[in-house]
Amino acid sequence: MTTPNASTVTPLRPEDPSDIAFQIGRRLDGAQAPLTHSMMKASNFHHALIGTSGVGKTFTIRKMAIEFASQGVTQFILDTQGDYSFAEFSSNHDMKGVRVNEIKFGYGPGTAGINPFAIHSDDQYGGFHHAVIGVLETLRLFNPSIGSRQKTQLRRLITRTYERKGIVMEDPRSWRLEPPSMRDLLITIDDEIKAVKSRSGTDIFDEIEEARKKAQRAAFRIKNEAGSTEDQQALEKEIEGHKASVMEAFEKMLDAELQTGEKLPSLSGSLNRLEAIHDMIEGAIISGLFDGENISAKRGAINVLDLTSLNQADQQPIFYLLLEKTFHSAVRTCKNLNPKIPDMMFGFDEVKLFTALADSPLDPINRFFTEGRKYGLGSLCGLQHPKQLTNEMRSSIGTIMLLPVAKEKIADVKRLWNIPEEQMSRLRAKSDAFYGFGNDSFVPIKLFG
């Protein structure tokens, strides 16, 4: 089973550099004129749609995604409830020729997944380092209680796992080799545990691993490559030599164990941490989240990242990882800072599910909003009330659509945007909204009217 390269979640640039604009609605403030939404005039490319359940947020996000995609902007929409399937799009909207590409995440074969070990080989100033940190961050997200000593030990184990694949920090050319997987990391940890128990050191297990790989390659050639009898015999002799190397390494380990006697007490803490890490990685493998197939994004399409099969505990870290990879990919590939139109839009409904991961201004969701404009990134996010936004998000949103909100939240709207309560109360669900664009005053509109 192949695992996806992180670069598959990459901002895809539209062909046409002209403005991205469409009619967002008709003014209801007496002007009764159509209102055009223009990205070239926007302070940034982030949009917040605020309204209680059932007032039209999802419908409006789908409609806006179609408008953007129809003008060449690639969309990624995170779907946690099945509201963004092809069936929902096609049965409720004029698709304007836009494709919906469904990418389904799940537990095991036949679904999409993420390989956090993948290295951006074009990032020669830190690809290896970023990948190691990415694996650590992935494991921390799924195991929030991981301690500092475990993290230090795990970082060393991750680096050793790369080295066993021939991938080293000092040689960017090696970063193009096939990356390791969670299973490779588990083998490294198993060998480390054996080494600690036997007091023999992990070099012995590196020798065993190398001999095993060479024997497998020789066996593959015997089975699949035509050759003379002499060639076959030479390969069989080579395999016997590798077997002897493995036996010699095991003998070294046994000698070291016999000489040392019982495990020293000072090793017990290290062994306990290793066994805890082993259980952590084993759990990650069992989940199947990292065994998925390649993420195949479509340019100029609405790429729906379907997380409906995942439980909520797994939805959050997967979102975190997708957004982090998207942001770093944009930073690496952006050739023109501060473009006039967005290169890619990221949509997610029910913001409250994900802002819980925003512990610091440097977390991906905050950086996406505060710095994304510079790299051509935009967003369409739906939420039920303003307090579900982080401070960094709220200060970085250029367009706000206020749909009907719950009565107890109307006071918050008045406090933040000075819209009279009676006017908010008159908004009709799935029809009306207050439209705030940049520093302009809010305008009441009939959506897409």
Confidence of residue 257 (pLDDT cuts 50, 70, 90): low
Same domain, 282 and 307: no
* In the predicted structure, residue 282 carries a pLDDT above the cut 90: yes
Same domain, 344 and 251: no
Lowest mean pLDDT among 81-90, 107-116, 402-411, 428-437: 107-116
Give 28-40 pLDDT, tens digit per residue: 987 778 999 999 9
Within-domain flag for 1 = no
Q: What's the mean pLDDT in 308-335?
A: 84
Of the candidates 287, 321, 338, which is a domain's last residue?
A: 287
| Greatest mean pLDDT range, 236-240, 242-246, 434-438 | 434-438
* In the predicted structure, residue 6 carries a pLDDT above the cut 50: no
How many Å apart are CA 86 and CA 247, to the nearest integer?
Answer: 57
| pLDDT of amino acid 68 | 96
Same domain, 260 and 134: yes
Give 71-110 pLDDT, tens digit per residue: 999 999 999 999 999 999 999 999 999 999 999 999 877 8
Same domain, 198 and 256: yes
How many Å apart are CA 230 and CA 367, to the nearest integer?
Answer: 62
How many Å apart are CA 79 and CA 284, to the nearest integer?
Answer: 22
Q: What's the mean pLDDT in 273-284?
A: 91
* In the predicted structure, residue 196 carries a pLDDT above the cut 50: yes
Of the candidates 287, 314, 344, which is a domain's last residue?
A: 287
Same domain, 275 and 382: no
Same domain, 307 and 406: yes
Same domain, 100 and 36: yes
Within-domain flag for 118 = no
Give 351-369 pLDDT, tens digit per residue: 777 777 666 666 788 888 9
* In the predicted structure, residue 23 carries a pLDDT above the cut 70: yes
Q: Residue 34 carries which DSSP code?
A: E
CATH of the domain at 387: 3.40.50.300
**Closest to 19 in 3D by CA, of 98, 97, 74, 72:** 72
| pLDDT of amino acid 252 | 66
Same domain, 283 and 175: yes
Tally of domains within the chain? 2
Q: Which two tokens stand for residue 385?
A: 């009330």
Within-domain flag for 219 = yes
| pLDDT of amino acid 212 | 73
| Whether 42 contacts 328, CB under 8 Å | no
* In the predicted structure, residue 17 carries a pLDDT above the cut 70: no
**Closest to 364 in 3D by CA, of 206, 41, 130, 175:** 130
Q: What is the identity of the amino acid at 233?
A: Q
* In the predicted structure, residue 286 carries a pLDDT above the cut 60: yes
| pLDDT of amino acid 236 | 79
Return the axis-axis angle of helices 182-198 and 268-287, rounded to nearest 10°: 160
Q: Which two tokens stand for residue 279?
A: 């259980």
Annotate 64-132 with DSSP letters as a single string: HHHHHHHTT-EEEEEESSSTTSHHHHHHHS--TT--EEEEEB-SSTTSB---TT---TT-TTTHHHHHH
Within-domain flag for 122 = no
| pLDDT of amino acid 206 | 64
Within-domain flag for 121 = no
Q: What's the mean pLDDT in 252-264?
A: 57
Give 101-151 pLDDT, tens digit per residue: 999 999 877 898 888 898 887 776 678 988 898 899 889 888 888 888 889
Sheet holding 46-50, edge to edge: 34-38, 21-27, 443-447, 432-437, 399-402, 46-50, 377-383, 344-348, 74-79, 302-306, 100-104
How many Å apart are CA 433 and CA 411, to the nearest integer?
Answer: 16
Q: Look-up: residue for tokens 């009619």?
A: 23
Of the candidates 253, 287, 321, which is a domain's last residue?
A: 287
Same domain, 104 and 147: no
Within-domain flag for 418 = yes
Same domain, 68 and 195: no
Give 183-195 pLDDT, tens digit per residue: 999 999 998 888 7
Task: Please return the burial class of 322, using the count of CB atoms within 10 Å of its CB with bins 0-12, 13-18 and 19+.
Answer: buried
Confidence of residue 5 (pLDDT cuts 50, 70, 90): very low
Same domain, 137 and 264: yes
CA distances to 149, 205, 229, 266, 362 from 152, in Å:
5, 21, 51, 18, 21
Same domain, 224 and 147: yes
| pLDDT of amino acid 18 | 81
Is the pTM for the entire model greater than 0.85?
Answer: no
**Which residue range forms the structural domain that includes residue 174?**
127-287
How many Å apart are CA 342 and CA 379, to the nearest integer?
Answer: 9
